[in-house]
Amino acid sequence: MFWKRFARGAVAALLALGVGAALFVIAVCARVDWNDLVARNGDPEVVYLFAGVDSGIERPKGDSQYAASPDSPGRADVLILVRLGGDGDVHAVSLPRDIVAVGVGRPSRLALTYLDGEQALIDGICGGVGVEVDRFVGIDASAFPKVVDALGGLELRIPEARRDPGANLDVAQSGERSIDGETALALVRSRHAQVLVDGTWVEQSDDAGSEDRATWSAHVMEATGTALAHASPTQLARATWAASGGLTVSGGLHPLELWDLVHADISASVLPTRLVNGELARVPGDAGTQALQELGFDTSCRPMALAEPRRSAEGS
């Protein structure tokens, strides 16, 4: 009963601060158990992990060794760490999904750890980049386009025309433009894009494609934040309702944290990484660790040894 009174009181307070934010919280709480609501416990900061998961959609045949149907387990295509400081400051960083998670059984890329659930991914973040995650928010690929469309699309600058049949990406014109939800999803999922250079389509390498995906994840997140900040109360309610059907939340929710995140001016950088022995897998190295620390992240997290994961690190 305490949490119900607390949540309703927080929503009432938000009504006095802004109708849009209040509708946002109400819509979230309508689809989340009241027991998931938590109060701040005096910690100086809270770290959120936002993950875009490739479940709920058809994936190209041969995309991986796993089933490509919408009902098959999803991998974490997009990974954004957001640090919410005790003073309300917010910093975000986009993680390449090919960072190697160590200390969690057999080394595996972060994208694949999610096949064993969000806790395996959280442990992988701890082992891979040294950051402890407090809150996890995952959205599947079937819900994300609906959220973008509910917000009226995203405004993005696309420097060159690009296409990727495997991700259903086809942007024929460069420059400032408004994109719909399916295009936004294609941008963050594209790994083998071709870009138009001097009238010739040039295919990216796997290495460039991995970094490009992290970069576009950051751009799309920033554009989504801007769209949320300028959305009407009705758009906010519709967007949150669209997300809730494909939303996974762990670690609890706090209305005031949601308020800070929705209204923060978030610009996500891309975590510097380096390839491991010329292969697809990546590690942050000293440059990545320094970048995280400069953004205020604590990089001292070290995972406890876990049992052998059920799946290997093979596949894409």
List pLDDT tens digits, range 53-66.
876 555 555 444 44
What six digits make up the tokens of 2?
């305490």
**For residue 30, pLDDT beyond 50:** no
Q: Please, where in the chain does CATH 3.30.420.590 lie?
A: 40-141+251-316
How far is it between the farthest Cα atoms of the chain?
64
**For residue 249, pLDDT beyond 80:** no
The percentage of the chain sitting over the pLDDT mark of 90, rounded to a whole number, equals 15
Q: What pLDDT does residue 208 have? A: 74
How many CB atoms are closer than 10 A to CB 199?
Answer: 5
Domain range 143-232, its CATH number among 3.40.30, 3.30.70, 3.30.110, 3.40.630: 3.40.630
Instruction: Compute the Cα dihedral for 74, 78, 83, 89 and give only its sign.
Output: negative
Q: How confident is the model at residue 253 (pLDDT cuts 50, 70, 90)?
A: low
Report CA-CA distances (Å) from 266 to 39, 74, 200: 23, 27, 35
Q: What pLDDT does residue 14 have? A: 34
Instruction: In whole angstroms, give the CA distance from residue 309 to residue 106.
Output: 7
Burial 60-79 (b: 16+ CB within 10 A, else e): eeebbebeeeeeeebbbbbb
> Based on C-alpha coordinates, what's the Rg of the chain?
19
Name the least confident of 21-30, 39-48, 78-87, 168-177. Answer: 21-30
Q: Please, where in the chain does CATH 3.40.630 lie?
A: 143-232
Q: What is the pLDDT of residues 191-226, one digit of tens each?
A: 788 888 888 888 877 767 777 878 888 888 788 878
Q: How many CA atoms lie within 13 A of 49 on its CB side?
A: 31
Q: Could you write out the three-class secondary structure of the chain?
A: CHHHHHHHHHHHHHHHHCHHHHHHHHHHHHCCCHHHECCCCCCCEEEEEEEEECCCCCCCCCCCCCCCCCCCCCCEEEEEEEEEECCCCEEEEECCCCEEECCCCCCEEHHHHHHHCHHHHHHHHHHHHCCCCCEEEEEECCCHHHHHHHCCCEEEEECCCEEEHHHCEEECCCEEEEECHHHHHHHHHCCCCEEEECCEEEECCHHHHHHHHHHHHHHHHHHHHHHHHCCCHHHHHHHHHHHHCCEEEECCECHHHHHHHHHCCCCCEECCCEECCCCCCEECHHHHHHHHHHCCCCCCCCCCCCCCCCCCCCCC
**For residue 278, pLDDT beyond 90:** no
Which among 114-118, 206-210, 240-244, 275-279 has the top mean pLDDT? 114-118
Q: What pLDDT does residue 234 have? A: 80
Q: What pLDDT does residue 299 have? A: 93
Domain range 40-141+251-316, its CATH number among 3.40.50.1580, 3.40.50.300, 3.30.420.590, 2.40.50.140: 3.30.420.590
Q: What pLDDT does residue 144 have? A: 86
What six digits make up the tokens of 142?
């079937």
∠ CA 272-278-280, rounded to 5°: 70
The percentage of the chain sitting over the pLDDT mark of 70, rounded to a whole number, equals 69
**What average pLDDT is seen over the chain?**
75
Q: What is the pLDDT of residues 115-155, one digit of tens each?
A: 888 888 999 999 999 999 998 888 888 888 888 999 999 99
Q: What pLDDT does residue 44 have? A: 67
Pairwise pLDDT comparison (28 vs 47), residue with the higher score = 47
Q: What pLDDT does residue 197 have? A: 86
Pairwise pLDDT comparison (250 vs 80), residue with the higher score = 80
Pairwise pLDDT comparison (159 vs 228), residue with the higher score = 159
